[in-house]
Amino acid sequence: MPVISFVSSKGGVGKTTSAVVLAGELVASGRSVIMIDADPNHPLVSWAGLQPLPAELSVVADQSAETIIDTIEDARAKADFVIVDLEGTATDRIGFAIARSDLVLVPLQASVLDATEAVKSIKLIRQMSRVAGREIPYRLFFSRIAAVIRERTAKDIEQQFAANGAAVLGAGIVDRAAFRAIFSLGGTLRAIEAKDVGGLQAARDNALAFAQGVIETLKKKAAA
Protein backbone atom coordinates (compact mmCIF):
# COMPACT_ATOMS: atom_id res chain seq x y z
CA MET A 1 0.00 0.00 0.00
CA PRO A 2 1.20 3.57 -0.64
CA VAL A 3 4.19 4.88 1.27
CA ILE A 4 4.24 8.65 1.81
CA SER A 5 7.41 10.27 3.15
CA PHE A 6 7.79 13.75 4.59
CA VAL A 7 11.17 15.16 3.64
CA SER A 8 13.02 18.44 4.09
CA SER A 9 16.65 19.09 4.74
CA LYS A 10 15.65 22.04 6.90
CA GLY A 11 14.42 21.45 10.45
CA GLY A 12 11.23 22.76 11.96
CA VAL A 13 9.25 23.34 8.76
CA GLY A 14 6.31 21.17 9.80
CA LYS A 15 7.06 17.60 8.65
CA THR A 16 6.00 15.88 11.85
CA THR A 17 2.92 18.06 12.34
CA SER A 18 1.74 17.63 8.75
CA ALA A 19 2.42 13.88 8.91
CA VAL A 20 0.19 13.50 11.98
CA VAL A 21 -2.52 15.67 10.43
CA LEU A 22 -2.54 13.50 7.30
CA ALA A 23 -2.55 10.27 9.31
CA GLY A 24 -5.51 11.46 11.39
CA GLU A 25 -7.58 12.22 8.30
CA LEU A 26 -6.76 8.91 6.59
CA VAL A 27 -7.75 6.96 9.70
CA ALA A 28 -10.94 9.01 10.06
CA SER A 29 -11.85 8.03 6.49
CA GLY A 30 -11.58 4.34 7.38
CA ARG A 31 -8.05 3.51 6.28
CA SER A 32 -5.41 1.82 8.43
CA VAL A 33 -2.19 3.77 8.84
CA ILE A 34 1.25 2.91 10.17
CA MET A 35 3.44 5.92 10.92
CA ILE A 36 7.17 5.33 10.89
CA ASP A 37 9.14 7.53 13.24
CA ALA A 38 12.49 7.83 11.48
CA ASP A 39 13.81 10.75 13.51
CA PRO A 40 16.46 10.10 16.21
CA ASN A 41 14.48 12.37 18.55
CA HIS A 42 11.44 10.11 18.07
CA PRO A 43 8.75 12.84 18.18
CA LEU A 44 6.00 10.46 17.03
CA VAL A 45 6.82 7.89 19.71
CA SER A 46 6.54 10.64 22.34
CA TRP A 47 3.25 11.87 20.85
CA ALA A 48 1.82 8.34 20.70
CA GLY A 49 2.57 7.97 24.42
CA LEU A 50 0.33 10.90 25.38
CA GLN A 51 -3.08 9.43 24.52
CA PRO A 52 -4.40 6.15 23.15
CA LEU A 53 -4.51 6.37 19.35
CA PRO A 54 -7.40 5.18 17.14
CA ALA A 55 -7.27 1.39 16.62
CA GLU A 56 -6.27 1.71 12.97
CA LEU A 57 -3.34 4.03 13.67
CA SER A 58 0.00 2.92 15.02
CA VAL A 59 3.51 4.30 15.35
CA VAL A 60 6.63 2.24 14.69
CA ALA A 61 10.08 3.51 15.62
CA ASP A 62 12.81 3.03 13.06
CA GLN A 63 16.41 2.98 14.24
CA SER A 64 18.77 3.74 11.37
CA ALA A 65 19.68 3.78 7.70
CA GLU A 66 20.32 0.02 7.97
CA THR A 67 16.77 -0.75 9.10
CA ILE A 68 14.60 1.80 7.26
CA ILE A 69 13.91 -0.26 4.12
CA ASP A 70 12.77 -3.29 6.16
CA THR A 71 10.71 -1.07 8.46
CA ILE A 72 8.96 0.48 5.45
CA GLU A 73 8.34 -2.82 3.65
CA ASP A 74 7.01 -4.50 6.84
CA ALA A 75 4.57 -1.62 7.32
CA ARG A 76 3.54 -1.60 3.65
CA ALA A 77 2.46 -5.22 3.94
CA LYS A 78 0.26 -4.47 6.96
CA ALA A 79 -1.45 -1.09 6.47
CA ASP A 80 -3.50 0.77 3.86
CA PHE A 81 -1.11 3.73 4.14
CA VAL A 82 2.41 4.14 5.48
CA ILE A 83 3.60 7.60 6.52
CA VAL A 84 7.30 8.14 7.14
CA ASP A 85 8.44 11.08 9.26
CA LEU A 86 12.11 11.82 8.68
CA GLU A 87 14.68 13.96 10.45
CA GLY A 88 15.43 17.50 9.31
CA THR A 89 19.07 16.95 8.33
CA ALA A 90 20.56 15.19 5.31
CA THR A 91 21.22 11.50 6.10
CA ASP A 92 21.44 8.24 4.14
CA ARG A 93 18.21 7.14 5.78
CA ILE A 94 16.32 9.94 4.01
CA GLY A 95 17.61 8.79 0.61
CA PHE A 96 16.63 5.17 1.29
CA ALA A 97 13.15 6.20 2.46
CA ILE A 98 12.67 8.34 -0.66
CA ALA A 99 13.69 5.39 -2.85
CA ARG A 100 10.91 3.24 -1.31
CA SER A 101 8.20 5.96 -1.41
CA ASP A 102 5.15 6.28 -3.65
CA LEU A 103 4.91 9.98 -2.86
CA VAL A 104 7.36 12.36 -1.21
CA LEU A 105 5.94 15.48 0.41
CA VAL A 106 8.23 18.45 0.94
CA PRO A 107 6.93 21.15 3.28
CA LEU A 108 8.21 24.66 2.97
CA GLN A 109 7.43 27.92 4.65
CA ALA A 110 6.94 30.96 2.49
CA SER A 111 10.47 32.28 2.65
CA VAL A 112 13.19 32.41 0.06
CA LEU A 113 15.50 30.52 2.43
CA ASP A 114 13.04 27.66 2.66
CA ALA A 115 12.58 27.63 -1.10
CA THR A 116 16.34 27.11 -1.50
CA GLU A 117 16.18 24.17 0.92
CA ALA A 118 13.21 22.73 -0.97
CA VAL A 119 15.24 22.83 -4.19
CA LYS A 120 17.89 20.68 -2.43
CA SER A 121 15.19 18.17 -1.48
CA ILE A 122 13.92 18.07 -5.08
CA LYS A 123 17.45 17.39 -6.32
CA LEU A 124 17.77 14.52 -3.84
CA ILE A 125 14.41 13.07 -4.95
CA ARG A 126 15.45 13.28 -8.63
CA GLN A 127 18.76 11.59 -7.79
CA MET A 128 17.00 8.81 -5.87
CA SER A 129 14.63 8.39 -8.85
CA ARG A 130 17.68 7.54 -10.93
CA VAL A 131 18.96 5.14 -8.25
CA ALA A 132 15.56 3.43 -8.04
CA GLY A 133 15.12 3.37 -11.83
CA ARG A 134 11.62 4.89 -11.67
CA GLU A 135 10.12 8.33 -11.31
CA ILE A 136 9.43 9.02 -7.64
CA PRO A 137 6.46 11.41 -7.43
CA TYR A 138 6.77 14.36 -5.11
CA ARG A 139 4.84 17.48 -4.19
CA LEU A 140 5.89 20.61 -2.40
CA PHE A 141 3.39 22.11 -0.02
CA PHE A 142 3.28 25.27 2.03
CA SER A 143 3.25 24.68 5.76
CA ARG A 144 2.60 27.02 8.65
CA ILE A 145 0.87 29.47 6.29
CA ALA A 146 -0.19 32.71 7.99
CA ALA A 147 -3.92 32.31 8.68
CA VAL A 148 -4.96 35.88 7.95
CA ILE A 149 -3.71 36.47 4.43
CA ARG A 150 -2.06 34.35 1.85
CA GLU A 151 1.35 35.90 1.71
CA ARG A 152 2.68 37.53 -1.42
CA THR A 153 5.99 35.63 -1.02
CA ALA A 154 4.10 32.33 -1.05
CA LYS A 155 2.47 33.22 -4.37
CA ASP A 156 5.77 34.32 -5.88
CA ILE A 157 7.56 31.16 -4.76
CA GLU A 158 4.70 28.98 -6.01
CA GLN A 159 4.86 30.64 -9.45
CA GLN A 160 8.62 30.20 -9.62
CA PHE A 161 8.40 26.50 -8.77
CA ALA A 162 5.59 26.02 -11.30
CA ALA A 163 7.72 27.72 -13.95
CA ASN A 164 10.50 25.22 -13.21
CA GLY A 165 8.22 22.20 -13.43
CA ALA A 166 8.07 21.51 -9.68
CA ALA A 167 4.59 20.66 -8.50
CA VAL A 168 3.01 22.36 -5.51
CA LEU A 169 0.09 20.70 -3.75
CA GLY A 170 -3.07 22.82 -3.96
CA ALA A 171 -3.80 22.76 -0.24
CA GLY A 172 -1.11 23.63 2.27
CA ILE A 173 -1.30 23.67 6.05
CA VAL A 174 -2.10 26.88 7.87
CA ASP A 175 -0.40 27.88 11.12
CA ARG A 176 -3.01 27.15 13.78
CA ALA A 177 -3.02 26.58 17.51
CA ALA A 178 -5.08 23.43 16.94
CA PHE A 179 -2.19 21.84 15.02
CA ARG A 180 0.23 22.69 17.84
CA ALA A 181 -2.25 21.34 20.39
CA ILE A 182 -2.04 17.84 18.88
CA PHE A 183 1.41 17.51 20.44
CA SER A 184 0.47 18.80 23.87
CA LEU A 185 -2.89 17.05 24.18
CA GLY A 186 -2.01 13.85 22.29
CA GLY A 187 -4.25 11.89 19.91
CA THR A 188 -5.33 13.10 16.48
CA LEU A 189 -6.90 16.42 15.51
CA ARG A 190 -10.28 14.69 15.39
CA ALA A 191 -10.00 13.83 19.08
CA ILE A 192 -9.48 17.46 20.11
CA GLU A 193 -12.55 19.27 21.40
CA ALA A 194 -13.57 22.87 20.66
CA LYS A 195 -13.29 23.77 24.35
CA ASP A 196 -9.59 22.85 24.29
CA VAL A 197 -8.46 25.16 21.49
CA GLY A 198 -9.69 28.00 19.27
CA GLY A 199 -10.17 27.77 15.50
CA LEU A 200 -10.74 24.02 15.61
CA GLN A 201 -13.25 23.87 12.76
CA ALA A 202 -10.96 25.83 10.44
CA ALA A 203 -8.12 23.43 11.30
CA ARG A 204 -10.37 20.43 10.60
CA ASP A 205 -11.43 21.84 7.22
CA ASN A 206 -7.77 22.48 6.40
CA ALA A 207 -6.72 18.97 7.44
CA LEU A 208 -9.42 17.44 5.25
CA ALA A 209 -8.49 19.54 2.21
CA PHE A 210 -4.81 18.66 2.66
CA ALA A 211 -5.54 14.93 2.92
CA GLN A 212 -7.83 15.07 -0.13
CA GLY A 213 -5.06 16.78 -2.09
CA VAL A 214 -2.64 13.99 -1.15
CA ILE A 215 -5.10 11.22 -2.05
CA GLU A 216 -5.94 12.82 -5.40
CA THR A 217 -2.24 13.09 -6.20
CA LEU A 218 -1.73 9.39 -5.42
CA LYS A 219 -4.76 8.45 -7.55
CA LYS A 220 -3.49 10.49 -10.49
CA LYS A 221 -0.07 8.87 -10.22
CA ALA A 222 -1.60 5.39 -9.98
CA ALA A 223 -3.73 6.01 -13.08
CA ALA A 224 -0.79 7.38 -15.09
Residues in contact with Mg ion by CB under 5 A are 15-16
- Residue 223 Cβ vs ligand ATP, minimum distance, rounded to whole Å: 30
Site for ligand ATP in 14-53 (CB under 6 A): 14-17, 39
Q: Which C-beta is closer to ligand ATP: that of 151 or that of 175?
A: 175
Site string for ligand ATP, 79-98 (x = CB under 6 A): --------xx----------
Cβ closer to ligand ATP: 13 or 27? 13
The dihedral of CA 121, 140, 7, 130: what is its sign? Answer: negative
Contact in structure between 104 and 22 (CB atoms under 8 Å):
no
Nearest 5°: the CA angle 51, 55, 57 is: 80
- Residue 220: how many CB atoms within 10 A of its CB? 10
Residue nearest to ligand ATP (CB): 88
Residues 111 to 140: which contact ligand ATP by CB under 6 A?
none
* Cβ–Cβ under 8 Å, residues 31 and 81: yes
**With CB under 6 A, what is the number of residues at the site for ligand ATP?**
18
Residue 213 makes contact with ligand ATP by CB under 6 A = no
Look at phi and psi of residue 12 and say left if phi exceeds 0, alpha if psi is from -120 to 50, else beta.
left
Let me know: does 137 contact 23? Beta carbons within 8 Å. no
Q: For residues 120 and 183, which CB has a smaller minimum distance to ligand ATP in the complex?
A: 183
Alpha carbons 27 and 124: distance in angstroms, whole number: 30
Site for ligand ATP in 140-159 (CB under 6 A): 143-144
For ligand ATP, the binding residues (CB under 6 A) are: 11-17, 39, 87-88, 143-144, 173, 175-176, 179-180, 183
